Amino acid sequence: MKNITIPIQKIKEIAGEHGTPYHIYDEKVIVNRLNQLISSFNWVPFKEYFAIKANPNPHILKIMKENDCGVDAATVSEIKLAEEVGFEGEDIMFTSNLTTLEAYQYAVERGCIINIDWAADIYELYEAGIIPENICFRLNPGSIKNEIMGDSSESKFGSTASQIREAVAFLAKKDIKNIGLHTMVVSNENDPAIFKEYTEMIFSFARELIDEFKIEVDFINIGGGIGIPYLSEEEVDVNAIAEAVKESYVKVLSNSDIEAKIFMESGRYVTGESGYLVTEVIKEKETFKKYLGVDASMSDLMRPGMYGSYHHLTNITAQERGEEEREVYDVVGSLCENNDKFAVDRELLKSKIGDLIIIHDTGAHGHSMGFNYNGMLRNAEFLYTQNGEFKKIRRDENFQDYTNTIIGGY
Amino acid sequence: MKNITIPIQKIKEIAGEHGTPYHIYDEKVIVNRLNQLISSFNWVPFKEYFAIKANPNPHILKIMKENDCGVDAATVSEIKLAEEVGFEGEDIMFTSNLTTLEAYQYAVERGCIINIDWAADIYELYEAGIIPENICFRLNPGSIKNEIMGDSSESKFGSTASQIREAVAFLAKKDIKNIGLHTMVVSNENDPAIFKEYTEMIFSFARELIDEFKIEVDFINIGGGIGIPYLSEEEVDVNAIAEAVKESYVKVLSNSDIEAKIFMESGRYVTGESGYLVTEVIKEKETFKKYLGVDASMSDLMRPGMYGSYHHLTNITAQERGEEEREVYDVVGSLCENNDKFAVDRELLKSKIGDLIIIHDTGAHGHSMGFNYNGMLRNAEFLYTQNGEFKKIRRDENFQDYTNTIIGGY
């Protein structure tokens, strides 16, 4: 049982008028998460840089802007999306990797914070005369001291401590004495102990750099990584996480001469729970298992098919008709691909063709990961605004869109 | 070591003129595979229905048309693609699932062969007056008699034998006495013994239906499922597979009154080996492992990231410079997603920035599975025709394409 924060009546109305499947996001939930996050870090200068990849619709990015957040862009396309709603300069963190000089140039010209994945890039940038005003380095801690954080040495991201040290020494000689640091070693994690552990690691590294090179660390971007409760309606205790970060901050960094800001680049935590994928049961089928076929597919939400992720499902129509019987189903999409399943062996209220099923927590890494496999077209997005308006913010893809890049003459 | 069938000089030229990454397909390889497939089944009336999802570019579909093949469409979008190059009627097999009446209608009106996934749909079709001329049923054999074929009971596809029996009884009463049968229980498989086993199963089922209902089974679609040698340059022994199918055909079906055609819906086997993804090394990086960063990503080829699939890599530039040293690399794309890796711990010729790397066997389920995650744009496709021409058959996606469905006013 999970809450649905959008009026059911309206969800049904949109389904009737526009058709299913569609994505809908609740602005209130997004703003609420931002407020929770920001207020839990009120003990330190703090800024959230929303991870665009989680939900790149400009209408969503605009909510970040209105709530004094920045955005985190992984590619030049994402910087362009951010620019569409007026983000500029230091409000854009460019956290790319395998970054070309061309991409760096695009970001540097716009004054973005340049979060450098591969520390050695800095030498190349200087050689090419592309000098970022705001430089940040991304640390890959590798398989560090303890077991709680697991092993980052299989992660393709970031640079080692000694590589960053070398780059900082290089910058210090150029009289650049103000940098940022970044690491992201957890994903979908809610355990404060883990946040304490890994922020202590990155804070200690900042401390070492400060002491060794007499530089200032302007900010420490502790990444995203806060999970959401896909399985329950329990809220994430973001205060406990912030409290854990505070403990390591106070322990490692707090003294008169260090005032590093804390940045985050949360995606999932900010928009994940705001989103619902609304889909209709279009087929009941029983072979060796009971299947509910729905009109959404992996093109709308790839996480269950790609990672085996859990997304809660609510049959709102069965709820409304007071259905009491329950059944165990595989809930599947129509892709010609056997992993196109939203749920396997899931107990739901007994469902019928025509019922509307809500797939929960699809506000992050949902539409943005959709593909066109099997000629599937990606679906529309709606926003339920804070003042109770329902706005279509993306139309359905059509066959013309799908074939746009094909060159004729066959 | 795997062959590259396209002139290296030309691959380099296109990289220089058009830029990387790009996909390129060798028409000769496709035609060769079709010929091999068709000739190995020359002991029976045979037709290949190319699985559009493997490579939906109309220029590729046209090759199938020119070689007397049909196409297998999973969705209405795929039927439309087929129509673009002139496929019609029985040359299109509509193998959808969770099929709506609307989709059936589209296919029935065009005279496609209707491959019915869920047998009970036939009652609905009759009720709605949507009467297919060519009906086929897709069998899910479940966990059948032996271990060689594994367990299909977790597959969402098809109907049970008894469900199909019931549907055939219904049709027999309507005086429909000619149907097709379909099953597909293997994928990327080359063992003739397995093909013998499962075709014996579907042939026996046909035999039972013929005897029980005095109907004719016009064709048996034995699915796709022929694998390709991702790991070596050894050719698939499609003759051995066809021979195995023949053995069960002769054993089960051959007598004076049964002359069922054999259909296949191969995708991977036909175009997989024809395709190369050409990408450039844009970053060398060594943290806790050695990385080669390339400009292609999961947006161009999702199989390694999604399924952990092996694709062979050849550094053609290192080969040309006579590089003798070898190194072990992770070859990665730039997606902000740690599974964006084309190879893990792969030994390659020592590589440098600017080198061109060929990713092999990307002609099936390559471009067609690409997504736009991280704002990544999908890349161009080229065809190396039989007469030695190089044709651009799809342009690069651009930012305008990417943002086309977003509704303004933010």
Nearest Cβ partner of A404 from B59, B376, B401? B401
Backbone phi, psi, residue B314, to 5°: -130, 125
B126/A contact by beta carbon, under 8 A: no
The closest of A354, A379, A369 to A277, measured between CA atoms, is A379
Alpha-carbon separation of residue B91 from A116, B42, B51, B70, B268 (angstroms): 54, 19, 12, 4, 19
Q: Are B362 and B277 in contact (CB under 8 A)?
A: yes
A271 Cβ neighbours under 8 A, 6+ residues apart: A25, A30, A33, A50, A54, A55, A60, A363, A364
Question: What residues contact residue B27 under an 8 Å CB cut-off, 6+ apart?
Answer: B63, B274, B383, B384, B385, B386
- CA–CA distance, B184 with B158 (Å, rounded to integer): 9
Location of structure tokens 């597959």: B155
Give residue-wise pLDDT tens across range A304-313. Answer: 999 999 999 9
- The beta-carbon neighbor of B75 closest among A120, A155, A374 is A374
Q: What's the full length of chain B, in residues?
A: 410
Question: Domain B8-24+273-403 falls in which CATH fold?
Answer: Lyase, Ornithine Decarboxylase; Chain A, domain 1 (2.40.37)
Instruction: Give the SS3 label for residue B327.
Output: strand
CA distance A224 to A226: 6
Chain B residues whose beta carbon lies within 8 Å of the beta carbon of residue A291 = 156
- Three-state secondary structure call for residue A59: helix
> To 10 degrees, what angle do helices B238-252 and B27-40 make?
30
Size of the A and B interface in Cβ pairs below 8 Å = 219
- Alpha-carbon distance A43 to nearest alpha carbon in chain B (angstroms): 30
Confidence at residue A7, expressed as pLDDT on a 0 to 100 scale: 98
Question: pLDDT (tens digit, 0 to 9) for every residue of chain A, 410 residues total?
Answer: 799 999 999 999 999 999 999 999 999 999 999 999 999 999 999 999 999 999 999 999 999 999 999 999 999 999 999 999 999 999 999 999 999 999 999 999 999 999 999 999 999 999 999 999 999 999 999 865 555 556 788 899 999 999 999 999 999 999 998 999 999 878 888 899 999 998 999 999 999 999 999 999 999 999 998 999 998 878 889 999 999 999 999 999 987 677 899 999 999 999 999 999 999 999 999 999 999 999 999 999 999 999 999 999 999 999 999 999 999 999 999 999 999 999 999 999 999 999 999 999 999 999 999 999 999 999 999 999 999 999 999 999 999 999 999 999 98
Q: At what angle do helices B121-128 and B161-173 cross, to 10 degrees?
A: 30
What is the pLDDT, as a whole number, of residue B395? 98
The CATH fold assigned to A27-270 is: TIM Barrel (3.20.20)
pLDDT tens per residue, range A348-396: 999 999 999 999 999 999 999 999 999 999 999 999 999 999 999 999 9
Q: Which residue of chain B has the CA closest to A84?
A: B410
Alpha carbon distance B26, B393 (integer Å): 12
B197-200: long-range contacts, CB 8 A cutoff, minimum separation 24: B197/B146, B197/B148, B197/B149, B197/B248, B198/B141, B198/B149, B198/B222, B199/B244, B199/B245, B199/B248, B199/B249, B200/B248, B200/B251, B200/B252
**Looking at residue A146, what is its pLDDT?**
52
- Rounded Cα–Cα distance for residues B343 and B341 (Å): 5
Write down the pLDDT at residue A188: 85
| Nearest residue to A50 via CA among A62, A32, A36 | A62
CA-only gyration radius of chain A, Å: 23
Cα–Cα nearest to B41, from B207, B238, B190: B238
- From residue B276, alpha-carbon distances to B103, B263, B296, B350 in Å are 34, 28, 12, 21
Give the DSSP H or E segment for B348: strand B341-349
**Contact residues, B window 390-409, toward A, CB-based 8 Å cutoff:** 392-397, 399, 401-407
Strand-pair partners of B279: B357
A338:B97 CB<8 A: no
The pLDDT of residue B254 is 81
Q: Determine which helix (DSSP H) or strand (DSSP E) holds A51, and give its type and residue range.
A: strand A46-51
Task: Compute CA distances A327 → A289, A290, A331, A359, B267, whole Å.
Answer: 11, 8, 11, 17, 37
A8 Cβ neighbours under 8 A, 6+ residues apart: A316, A320
- Report angle CA B163, B167, B172 to the nearest 5 degrees: 145
> Along chain B (410 residues), what's the average pLDDT of each consecutive run of 10 residues?
94 98 98 98 97 98 98 98 97 97 98 98 98 96 65 90 97 94 88 92 95 95 92 88 96 82 97 98 97 98 95 98 98 95 98 98 98 98 98 98 96
Contact B75 A376 (CB under 8 A): yes
Which of B59, B63, B101, B405 would you mutate first to test chain A, the one with the most A CBs within 10 A? B405
**pLDDT value at residue A148:** 58
Nearest Cα residue in chain A from B63:
A410
Q: Per the CB < 8 Å rule, is A75 touching B394?
A: no
At A303 the pLDDT is: 96
Q: Which of B95, B123, B285 to mutate to test the interface with A (most CBs of A within 10 A)?
A: B285
The count of residues in chain A is 410
Spell out which residues of chain A touch residue B100, defining contact as CB-CB under 8 Å: 282, 295
| CA-wise closest residue to A225 among B157, B336, B273, B348 | B336
Q: State pLDDT tens for residues A109-160.
A: 999 999 999 999 999 999 999 999 999 999 999 865 555 556 788 899 999 9
Instruction: Fill in the amino acid letter for A117.
Output: D
Question: Does A224 lie at the interface with B, CB-CB under 8 angstroms?
Answer: no
Q: Which of A53, A287, A307, A330 to mutate to test the interface with B (most CBs of B within 10 A)?
A: A287
Testing the interface with B: which of A20, A285, A289 to mutate, by most B Cβ within 10 A? A285
pLDDT averaged over every residue in chain A: 95
Whole-angstrom distance, CA of residue A195 vs CA of residue A183: 12
Q: Which residues of B touch A306 (CB under 8 A)?
A: 306
The full set of domain ranges for chain A reads 8-24+273-403, 27-270
Residues of chain B positioned with their CB less than 8 A from the CB of A57: 406
Token pair for B160 = 């049970």
Residue B153's pLDDT is what? 84
Residue B382: closest CA among chain A residues belongs to which residue? Answer: A407
CB-CB contact of A84 with B407 (8 Å): no
Q: Do B282 and A80 touch (CB under 8 A)?
A: no
Interface probe, candidates B106, B287, B330, B397, chain A, greatest A C-beta count within 10 A: B287
Sign of the torsion formed by the C-alpha atoms of B35, B36, B38 and B43: positive
Q: Which pLDDT does position B345 carry in this prediction? A: 97
- Provide the H-helix boundaries in B76-160: 76-84, 101-109, 121-128
A47 interface with B at CB cutoff 8 Å: no
Nearest CA in chain B to A151: B288
Token output for B289: 């492992």
Question: B15: how many CB neighbours lie within 10 A of its CB?
Answer: 19
Q: Which two tokens stand for residue A85?
A: 């709603």
Find the CB nearest B156 among A57, A291, A397. Answer: A291
Question: Across the interface, which of B76, B285, B336 has its CB nearest the CB of A53?
Answer: B336
CB A176 within 8 A of CB A218: no
Would you tell me which residues 256-275 of chain B have a C-beta closer than 8 angstroms to some C-beta of chain A?
A: none
pLDDT for the residue B60 = 98
Which residues of chain A neighbour B371 with C-beta distances below 8 Å?
302, 369-372
How far is residue A24's CA from residue A11's CA, in Å, rounded to a whole number?
Answer: 9
